[in-house]
């Protein structure tokens, strides 16, 4: 919980931090007692602090489904992201992942640190999945199938055009938006708008593009091989190689390119606002709106900011936590 020095420098952060601590304690009491659920929630917390916080404040039934959905896709993504797995071994795993989730005997060891624990103990996630209502299970299975196939396609293909960029982001994040809409529907809390697929997709694209922009340096410096998600059609206007943007002598071009990437991400905002305006359940609204607000804050920080090419650009923790304080208290 932040250092004492940071707290003293930003005393306004103390209230949201305490509020957060109380909310976490309350949420912990609602976790089902069996060990597989304990594993799922502790794993969720370890692999994603920010999504764990917003997921925890959903009502218990939907919360369990979203928690399992997150872990299944995180495991799939761990396979995608592990650059040490040879392609011919990786493709069949990605493509068949949606069937493995029904099998508590299946597991595939890969990834590092907490991701490795998730993969090694995946039987807990399967056990939790098998306890969900059929409606939730079918939505999770379908999205896992489509995401695995999409990831497999992009293992063998680079992100060249802006259409490729949108397509890749659709597989890894837009589909999460579609799946979540289906889970909300299955929970009986929300209805779907006629263009729900398009606007759910935009919710994911906006978050994913923000990550891709923010993580430029981390992805380009990836060992053994750099990973590139910025579309060549955009960066090609400013440099011969994407990595050239990180060198000081190319700062002006780099910032222009960055600004074009940010502007591209902002094209999804209108759909996102439409999606969020239609939500009825306050806890679902908060679950959706908090990551979006953080993404907007991150993009604001990135825009015109050459630091992105030098190191990490991140929102301050206390500043983020304001968002988790119930709205009637901040507004």
Contacting positions for Mg ion (CB under 5 A): 77, 80-81
Q: What is 235-248 written as a DSSP string? A: HTTT-SSGGGGGSG
Q: How far is CA 23 from the centre of its chain?
A: 22
Please pick, from the candidates 94, 203, 213, 321, the single residue that binds ligand D61 as defined by CB under 6 A.
Answer: 203
Is 211 a binding residue for ligand D61 by CB under 6 A? The answer is yes
Query: Which of residues 80 and 190 has its CB atom nearest to Mg ion in the complex?
Result: 80
DSSP code of residue 173: I
* Cα 319 from Cα 261, distance rounded (Å): 24
* Rounded least distance, CB 112 to ligand D61, Å: 11
Q: Is 291 in the site for ligand D61 (CB under 6 A)?
A: yes
Largest CA distance in the chain: 57
Minimum Å distance from CB 18 to ligand D61?
25
Q: Which of 204, 231, 264, 308 binds ligand D61 (CB under 6 A)?
A: 204
Find all residues with CB under 8 Å of 16, minimum gap 6, and list them.
318, 321, 322, 324, 325
Which position among 176, 220, 258, 279 is part of the footprint of ligand D61 (CB under 6 A)?
176
By annotation, the residues acting in catalysis are 168, 214, 227, 287
262 contacts 303 by C-beta, under 8 angstroms: yes
- Residue 70 or 196: which CB sits closer to Mg ion? 70
DSSP label of 190: -
**CA–CA distance, 106 with 122 (Å, rounded to integer):** 8
- Piece of 14-22, 85-93, 172-180, 237-245 that binds ligand D61 (CB under 6 A): 172-180
180 part of the interface to ligand D61, by CB under 6 A: yes
Q: What are phi and psi of 85, to 5 degrees?
A: -85, 125
Residues that bind ligand D61 (CB under 6 A): 51, 66, 69-70, 73-74, 77, 81, 172-173, 176-177, 180, 203-204, 207-208, 211, 287-288, 291
């Amino acid at each position: 919980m932040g250092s004492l020095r940071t707290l003293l420098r930003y005393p306004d952060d103390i209230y949201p931090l305490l509020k957060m601590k109380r909310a976490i304690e309350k949420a912990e009491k609602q976790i089902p007692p069996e060990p597989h659920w304990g594993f799922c929630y502790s794993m969720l917390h370890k692999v994603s602090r920010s999504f764990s916080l917003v997921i925890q404040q959903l009502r218990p039934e939907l919360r369990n489904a979203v928690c399992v959905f997150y872990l299944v896709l995180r495991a799939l993504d761990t396979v995608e992201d592990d650059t040490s797995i040879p392609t011919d071994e990786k493709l069949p795993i990605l493509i068949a992942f949606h069937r493995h989730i029904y099998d508590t005997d299946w597991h595939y060891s890969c990834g590092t640190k907490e991701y490795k624990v998730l993969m090694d103990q995946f039987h807990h996630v399967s056990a939790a999945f098998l306890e969900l209502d059929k409606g939730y299970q079918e939505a999770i299975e379908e999205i896992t199938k489509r995401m695995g196939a999409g990831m497999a396609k992009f293992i063998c293909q680079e992100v060249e055009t802006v259409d490729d960029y949108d397509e890749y982001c659709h597989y890894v994040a837009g589909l999460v938006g579609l799946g979540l809409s289906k889970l909300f529907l299955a929970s009986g809390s929300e209805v779907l708008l006629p263009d729900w697929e398009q606007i759910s997709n935009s919710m994911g694209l906006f978050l994913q593009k923000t990550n891709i922009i923010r993580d430029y340096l981390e992805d380009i410096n990836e060992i053994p091989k750099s990973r590139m998600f910025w579309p060549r059609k955009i960066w090609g206007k400013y440099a011969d190689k994407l990595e050239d943007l990180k060198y000081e002598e190319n700062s002006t071009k780099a910032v222009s390119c960055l600004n074009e990437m940010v502007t591209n991400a902002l094209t999804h905002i209108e759909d996102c606002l439409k999606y969020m305006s239609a939500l009825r359940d306050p806890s679902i609204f908060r679950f959706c709106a908090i990551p979006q607000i953080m993404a907007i804050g991150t993009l604001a920080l990135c825009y015109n900011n050459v630091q992105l090419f030098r190191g990490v650009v991140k929102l301050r923790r206390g500043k983020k936590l304001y968002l988790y304080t119930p709205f009637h208290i901040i507004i």
